[in-house]
């Protein structure tokens, strides 16, 4: 079968493309390359020894999206494409709603026209908002997230739910994943954002190779053991394999099935810094900065549903995540 991967040149998308190709799937990659390098598809092809079509297209351009479906027999979609910086979304809510929600509506309309009704959606743990107790599980309400970025995920999950309710031919698995870090073991793929990184690990990695002078730690006065935010970190390759498991699930199940993908435990910012220092053998200088709007003190997953329904469980620990991140940044100090 052919699988369309939107945002396939991005961090999680590229690793998922590698695992899909290694598992024998044919893929079609779509990306507007606004936050990804055009060299990523070449690296994916080199790693897998497989070729595939690449469309430099934007989901907001409906004719272009429909053309992608026109000639490849696409049977399922894994949907990553979207703006993803929590902090930026607070200051650019209209841009985030337009890009993420409108782009998804255009994609779903193209899928419907092509008779393709299986989708794995890149959702987020941010849908659980500020009021649910941790660990988060899929039975909890997701009515209001802590940022516009998170709310776009809430809205899209609602759209998918309504679509599945209206047409029992659809199968949708929103994967609510937590904090992916790490890189491909080859050192050829990893988190390579343009500009100043919004996520912790690429920022630490850039400090480690001297691209940036120090790490900004946003708040050390949270109600956590060391005062810094606690997150559930999982290796990006584990996360990619979770998408394959969800894809298989859509083949035999109709309706919408939200699933958490996480390691099921949390690490603080300072714990991750210490783990990276051990992996790289370098010291990471840091400065305490004000809290960022939209950041929660702590969250981590109850990932038992993923193991029960999908047969998936995170297998790589924080030491391996940091070692692989270091291997990537050593080979690509300026990113891809």
Secondary structure class of 255 (helix, strand, coil): strand
Contact 19, 240 (CB under 8 A): yes
Cα separation, 77 vs 90, in Å, equals: 29
Phi, psi dihedrals of residue 298, rounded to the nearest 5°? -160, 145
Cα separation, 196 vs 194, in Å, equals: 7
Q: Which of 160, 6, 161, 163 is closest to 69 using CA atoms?
A: 6
Cα separation, 243 vs 229, in Å, equals: 27
Is residue 177 among the annotated active site residues?
no
Cα separation, 155 vs 65, in Å, equals: 21
| Other Cβ atoms within 10 Å of 213 Cβ, number | 9
Looking at 32-147, list the stretches that DSSP marks H as alpha helix, in order from N- to C-terminal side: 40-48, 62-70, 86-91, 93-96, 103-114
* Residue 158 token pair: 């609602």
Per annotation, catalytic residue among 11, 96, 128, 149:
149
Which residues are known to be catalytic? Answer: 149
């Amino acid at each position: 079968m052919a699988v369309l991967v939107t945002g396939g040149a991005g961090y999680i998308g590229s690793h998922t493309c590698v695992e899909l190709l290694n598992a024998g799937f044919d893929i079609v990659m779509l990306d507007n390359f606004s936050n990804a390098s055009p060299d990523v598809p070449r690296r994916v092809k080199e790693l897998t020894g497989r070729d595939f079509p690449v469309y430099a297209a934007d989901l907001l351009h409906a004719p272009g999206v429909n053309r992608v479906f026109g000639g490849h027999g696409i049977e399922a979609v894994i949907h990553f494409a979207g703006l993803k910086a929590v902090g930026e979304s607070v200051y650019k809510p209209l841009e985030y709603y337009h890009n993420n929600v409108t782009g998804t509506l255009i994609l779903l309309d193209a899928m419907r026209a092509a008779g393709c009704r299986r989708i794995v959606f890149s959702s987020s743990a941010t849908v659980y908002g500020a009021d649910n107790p941790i660990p988060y599980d899929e039975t909890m309400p997701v009515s209001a997230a802590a940022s516009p970025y998170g709310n776009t995920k809430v809205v899209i999950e609602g759209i998918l739910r309504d679509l599945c309710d209206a047409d029992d031919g659809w199968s949708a698995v929103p994967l609510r994943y937590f904090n992916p870090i790490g890189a491909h073991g080859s050192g050829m793929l990893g988190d390579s954002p343009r500009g100043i990184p919004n996520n912790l690990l690429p920022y630490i990695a850039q400090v480690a190779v001297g691209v940036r002078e120090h790490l900004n730690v946003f708040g050390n006065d949270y109600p956590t053991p060391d005062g810094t935010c606690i997150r559930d970190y999982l290796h990006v390759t584990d996360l990619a394999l979770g998408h394959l498991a969800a894809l298989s699930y859509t083949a035999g199940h109709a309706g919408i099935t939200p699933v958490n993908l996480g390691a099921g435990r949390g690490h603080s910012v300072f714990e991750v810094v210490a783990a990276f220092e051990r992996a790289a053998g370098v010291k990471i200088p840091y400065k305490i900065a004000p809290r960022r709007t939209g950041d929660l003190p702590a969250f981590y997953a109850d990932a038992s549903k993923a193991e029960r329904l999908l047969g998936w469980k995170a297998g790589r620990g924080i030491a391996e995540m940091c070692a692989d991140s270091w291997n990537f940044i050593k080979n690509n100090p300026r990113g891809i």
